[in-house]
Structure 1
Amino acid sequence: MSRRLPVIHKVTSENIGPFQQEQLDLEFSNGERRHFQRLVGHGHGAVVVVPMLDEDTVLLVREYAAGLHRYELGLVKGRIDEGESAIEAADRELKEEAGYGARQLDVLRMLTLAPTYMSHQSWLVLARDLYPERLIGDEPEELEVVPWKLAELDQLMLREDFSEGRSLAALFIAREWLGRAR
């Protein structure tokens, strides 16, 4: 079923750190009016990188997650800087966080975090044909790099220290994409 988008009567906004919080005065096609809030990022989106060490092994990184105040295992990820493409950002973040560059980078798709109230978009990038190269990044400490077999995703998805939705979704998408490419 295709619906007409709600009419936006008014938008008020306030800057809150890296986001702008907007209050929307909406009118839906049935005449109902509501106020919705959304967070709009100031940047150009982000990348989530699936670095394949070989045909069967992905590289994960363990880093401090301030939101949960613990160390979390996940994929290489970071923001896309002004003037960068998703491919360029993925290669840079891979070098900064995992100490590898990639000769082959493919954008698989765009992912959202919580589209009902956030505009944030992350581009899923598959990185293959890796080679060692490290760039200095903004991380306060070197990240631990953890190789993981794609065949063991069933074990990874149940770990308490692997909870980030983008990383989990990205690994399953990449595994399916790689399976079809073979």
Structure 2
Amino acid sequence: MSSDPHLQETRVSSEEVLRGGFLQVLRDTVRLPDGAQTYREYIVHPGAVMIIPLIEAEDGSVRVLMERQYRYPVGNVMIEFPAGKLDAGEAPLVCAQRELREETGYTARQWARAGRLHPGISYSTEFIEIWFARGLSEGKSQLDEGEFLEVFSATPQEILDWCRNGQITDGKTLTGALWLQNVLAGAWTLEWREA
């Protein structure tokens, strides 16, 4: 991705520190651009998707499906867009469709890829593909065993207010709110495709 060799670090060796259920922690020895060596510890993550599901009313108003879920590492119930990790070999759109259906019960008639974000570039390989969904049809959620969450809808303005006042602090949701705001304002365009 980078064409800046004067800034690149080169792996000399790699050591696995931990292998968990789906995360792996590595400690690499790297050569810096000036020739010195140091260590880089980081988490290997399979990648994920986040969905911004739009509920469009006949009068032109929009609501967005959101979730409330307890996140153990931070010890809080968080407000988030639906999201989930990629299974091995799974295409991001297929994952987005699966996660929306499993977590919310909804399916979407149209999908648009917005972009990609890297939530922890200094310590993780994780990337999150951002997808918009519209033309929603309601169904029954199929949560994973041990997964507990609440699904609700909010206006775009409520979401932005929650970002501003600190009720939303999740990085992917903050990024999603930026996309949502710009798409609804017509500043950023999406290429929609049928499911």
1:27 to 25, 31, 37: 31
Which residue is 1:13 aligned to?
16
Say if 1:116 and 1:32 are closer, same or farther in 2 by CA, change over 3 A. Answer: same
Are 2:71 and 1:69 equivalent residues in the alignment? no
Change over 3 Å in CA distance of 1:87–1:22 after alignment to 2: same
Partner of 2:93: 87
Q: Does 1:37 align with 2:46?
A: no
Match of 2:156 in 1: 150
- Which residue of structure 2 aligns with residue 53 of structure 1? 55
Q: Separation in 2 of the partners of 1:48 and 1:59?
A: 12
TM-score (norm 1): 0.87
In the alignment, the residues of structure 2 paired with residue 131 and residue 154 of structure 1 have an alpha-carbon distance, to the nearest angstrom, of 25
Tell me the matched-pair count: 180
- State the Cα RMSD in Å: 2.2
Task: Write the distance in 2 (CA, Å) between the matches of 1:100 and 1:152.
Answer: 21
* Alignment partner of 2:117 out of 91, 108, 111: 111
**Structure 1 outlier segments of 4+, above 6 Å:** none
CA contact (8 A) 2:156 2:180 kept: no
Unaligned 5+ segments in structure 2 are: 191-195
Q: Which amino acid aligns with 2:176?
A: A
Give yes or no for the alignment of 1:133 onto 2:139: yes
Please report the TM-score for the alignment, with normalisation by the length of structure 2.
Answer: 0.82
| Identity level (%) | 23
1:169 aligned to 2:171? no
